Chains A and B, each alone.
Chain A
């Protein structure tokens, strides 16, 4: 609960593509808080979210995990609410609440009957500035977070491997540090670190309110002005600046063996450009490249590795373009048990070069563009998903206009642009290659 890793794990679903621009309204309060409203009046339900433009990548050195730890502690007391009362009130109103932290954002949300929206805003505005923690709560909740890390990461060799791959990909940027934090640093987090982070980053001019469901923009404006409007902006909120990655000039390798590995595999990541305001064409080409190359049964990798050569049990390619700073393009092959990881890696190299040499299958591109178009229809049935997309984009440095331009941009991308993007991205010297192995194979 409290927090889901939205970081790209390799077996996560491929990105969904959905937009429905005409449902969306945006404006900004006088104190700098941005507001997005996504309307769907079919059911008297709303989702209320506040996204902060702060995530694990904004943590001070030595304090990894503090963004996520604070997210847990935001459910404790304020000046007017007792510890745990926030969630208890949401429950007593038939609502559900939770929160999540990623590299570039931290978000809190409730799903509730539409007539309770004002109450949700009142409580969320309260904890934006009035959090009150005790040492006992910090100690107990630190135990919870350590058990969360145990459950998600320490108990799962694939998650440990992803963490190592990521650490190898980023030499200088905070993206190389896990969102949940390194265990030895989580153990040292206390009141000073948590409250320092809270006071520095939690302010209306560093937040985006995203409301979706059975509500009008006028209603949201009135309620938001009443509840969030009185909170003063924090003048010390500065534009975000992280240490950028230097150019990568050497291939990197990660070899991890663990007795708990049942299915060894090969993964590769390439440092890749992210979507930037007014500059999304190359990321759009990379997204289509990931779909064409490894987006499912009809993809190029599946065709070559699962159908023709039959050396893989699973293969995939992933690109997560919505990111504040440089992101990655990832490829994975899970070989059949009788195929070595060395042979699987050779097959990976061959298939990437083969894709470039053969060029884009025009029928495949047409099918993907059809699915992009259809996803705009399906998205109208799940407006909370649209809300999620705006929250992610706006906390990653993009604008409403960028989000709304994206679907048309995807339709425009040419096969030549996709091949050019592939040539640019698939360079050995800009790669990290990892083998996740059974422990006995490494002895």
Chain B
């Protein structure tokens, strides 16, 4: 089993729902994004194209960050999810450098608030201390909503089909541009999409074998 995601760039409208739902569900502090929607224009007038590229950790099969981590804090589970054990992370940031997709962030300041100068609001404090605590001075990144997947599977639900066991960014997408499923299963929705629509990962030349594919 290897969990993966397919993002249809033709469907994506750049509404940032995935980005905001991710931030909300993980109570992420300012400047920390596990999901991003990059929007730009390419080409020269009059042939200009608007480019929308939602990005997140690629949970690579041959993850450069796993090899780079000197402490074993970053590991890859049997289901392909690459995650960081904050208690083992020393904050050396070698994994941040090693990731060719720049999907990792060093969480330096846990006192930084959304309303500068006013201190942490009750909601922020609750989010950071109780709802989804993240350890400062460590490296953070998308974990494919590992807690939802584990809890859902324990309850007999199927990730990618049952909302409660599926990453929130997939659930939040209003145009179903994101699909989640098992890449190792040739009959899964993600495998079929990749095969039929020639899905491609970012920078395959690095040999990292990402688990996030894009469709054009």
Asked if A and B bind, the verdict is no
